[in-house]
Structure 1
Amino acid sequence: MAGDFLHLDEATITNWPEANFSHPSSRDWYPAYSITLLLLTSAVVFARLLSQATRSTAGLGIDDLLALIGWVFSLLLSITSLLGTQHHGFNRHLWDVSHTSYNSAALIQWLSEGAFILSISFTKISVLLFFRRLEPSCSVGVKRTIYGFMTFTAVAGFSDLLVLLLQCRPVKASWTILDITEPNVGDCINKQTYYPAQGLISGFSTVYTIMVPALVLQNIPMTKSQRTGLRWVSLLSLSVLGVGIARTVFLYRIVVSENGDATCEYY
């Protein structure tokens, strides 16, 4: 079965409710949420690029390029997930989606997962590299620690991409969902252990990506109100960690779920 479209065997499918292609039960909040999040992200990224280009004596750096690349992949993530929602049944139960859309839905999910991994990895490295550039607030020890975290982030992201590419043999089996009467032409790994491990590593990288700016900026002179604002920003940034934990929990639920309702559960 396709990489993340699991348990689509005859026993599972025969227990599904009767399909309702005309007026299926659906959830429609995601498009507005996704577009709003993309607009906010775009505003932050381009405000940063404009500020660096016009106000910074150092000008644009590699960290800004990485931030832009991360934004491009976040844009691709939004596009693929919106396509999945609007045209491939991600907002409804899989039994209410035509079988002819299964392969395209699985491909959209596979592409969006890749875009998510790349966007997160480039963004985290960009944040770390930006604060590595600050002089003289970064001590030698802090700089070495930041380089270590950047290396860890890059290796973790590359490993996640390898898992995504090699989770099935051949690769196209990741998005090939055959009719239950057809013989299986591919073999895919079980991600029951992988997703919790990925979530743990991602959570760890999120924590240090938040903590490094806080540690670096505490050595920079600023007013009491500015420092209070920095603390609030750091606290709000922890919401990203909460989102990551929730994502891990839901991905694990998909792996262990036996109803095969991949589209609705991924939504």
Structure 2
Amino acid sequence: MIDIMYSSGDLLPRQAAAASANIPSDSRAPHILAIVGSLTGLSGLLVALRCYVRLFLLRKFLPDDGVIVASLLCAFGVLACFIGESHHGVGLFSDDIKPEDFQILSEYMFYHAIVIVLGISLVKVSLALFLLRFASPNKNLKRFITGALVFLIIFTVACILTLIFQCLPVRAAWDFSLRENARCYSMKTYLSIGEFNSAINIATDFVFATLPAFMFYKVQVNKRTRVSLMGILSLGYFACAAGIVKTVLQSQIFDEPDPYRDCQYLIWNCIELNVGIIAASFPTIKPLVKSVIGTTLSFTSGVRSGKRNGQGYHTTSIVFRSGPLTGLIGGVKRT
């Protein structure tokens, strides 16, 4: 979860010294911003729909909804960092970044890393709170999810503290004039910490992507509905895959001569965050997308009853049962 592409004590001064005053016109910043902006916009749409369903259809806004909104705010914060970074070197070759821009870029990335670590963790906290509502009948499962949630919170705090105090004084992380007397992690140490934390992050991604399929495998619904439900709830594997790609790129970041040109590592980091938000929100908006993924899910917690009308056609009424799965698979309690 340590998501930094700089911060080594000897890398930044070398790159800053090599920077020149000539900025080319072929910056890839617009391309990068288009990707990040599209992902963030899609996440925002899904969370907005989720809030609409919770507030106006189910009339029940729960803690996991509030946490996912906080995660979305982190995603917007990451987008804001990308925008700021695009004005100070992102999209350019390292040799084309001015020294004064490089220092501002480094400060943006300092906050960028903290915000995205927090956002990714909040997605999993939201999912853990969501799953706890369905784990009540199984005490062992409830203990496992609670333990995973506590571990995740402690781990996140440790990661953020590692990011904040990568240099002492803290400002030396981006203010190169303080580097001479500062104490900072070496490149090797920082990369090792980052890879270890990324491995833990992938493991927690996998756990929280697998738990829904495990928990809802025996739900008493027809086979088609069960497959659809488990498929939707397992979208977290895409976030897990993004985390794996990000980790591979992370191990190569200090070998890249121009890490700011394409920003593949940062882009995949952003993909991991936004796909996680989308995966966590998609199951909750079933009432609004049932026409796309099929109407079967709308009836899984209800009972059909039908009778012929005067013209010989069937008129169908549906009685919805309230319960934990009501909001998950699209049923809206009728009064």
For the criterion TM > 0.5, the same-fold answer is yes
Distance 1:107 1:118 in 2: 17
Deviation at 1:266, TM superposition (A): 4.1
1:73 and 2:77 matched: no
1:131 and 2:127 matched: no
1:187 and 2:169 matched: no
Distance 1:95 1:129 in 2: 47
Secondary structure at 1:192's aligned position in 2? helix
Residue 171 of structure 1 corresponds to: 170
- Work out the number of aligned pairs and report it: 256
Say if 1:47 and 1:258 are closer, same or farther in 2 by CA, change over 3 A. Answer: closer
Instruction: Give the alignment of 1:50-199 within 5 angstroms.
Output: 50-56=52-58, 59-85=60-86, 87-134=87-134, 138-178=137-177, 184-190=180-186, 191-199=190-198
Secondary structure at 2:116's aligned position in 1? helix
Tell me if structure 1 keeps the 8 A contact 2:168–2:183.
Answer: yes
Residue 213 of structure 1 corresponds to: 212
Deviation at 1:4, TM superposition (A): 5.1
Structure 2, unaligned stretches of length 5 or more? 1-5, 265-335
Distance 2:96 2:105 in 1: 13
Say if 1:17 and 1:42 are closer, same or farther in 2 by CA, change over 3 A. Answer: closer
Residue 7 (structure 1) aligned to one of 5, 11, 31: 11
Tell me if structure 1 keeps the 8 A contact 2:8–2:185.
Answer: no
Deviation at 1:194, TM superposition (A): 0.7
Distance 2:58 2:139 in 1: 23
Deviation at 1:131, TM superposition (A): 1.4
Structure 1, unaligned stretches of length 5 or more? none
Say if 1:146 and 1:183 are closer, same or farther in 2 by CA, change over 3 A. Answer: closer
Distance 2:256 2:139 in 1: 52
Residue 264 of structure 1 corresponds to: 261
Letter in 1 for 2:83: L
The structure having more radius of gyration, on CA atoms, is: 2
Letter in 2 for 1:254: I
Deviation at 1:79, TM superposition (A): 1.2
Distance 1:149 1:203 in 2: 14
Deviation at 1:25, TM superposition (A): 5.5
Tell me if structure 1 keeps the 8 A contact 2:168–2:182.
Answer: yes
Q: Percent identity?
A: 20
Deviation at 1:5, TM superposition (A): 7.8
Distance 2:203 2:192 in 1: 17
Q: Deviations over 1:118-156 (max 9, x none)?
A: 1111111101111111376x5111111110111111111
Q: Which has the higher contact order (CA 8 A, sep 6+)?
A: 1
Residue 324 of structure 2 corresponds to: none
Tell me if structure 2 keeps the 8 A contact 1:254–1:265.
Answer: no
- Superposed CA RMSD: 2.6
Deviation at 1:222, TM superposition (A): 2.8
Secondary structure at 1:193's aligned position in 2? helix
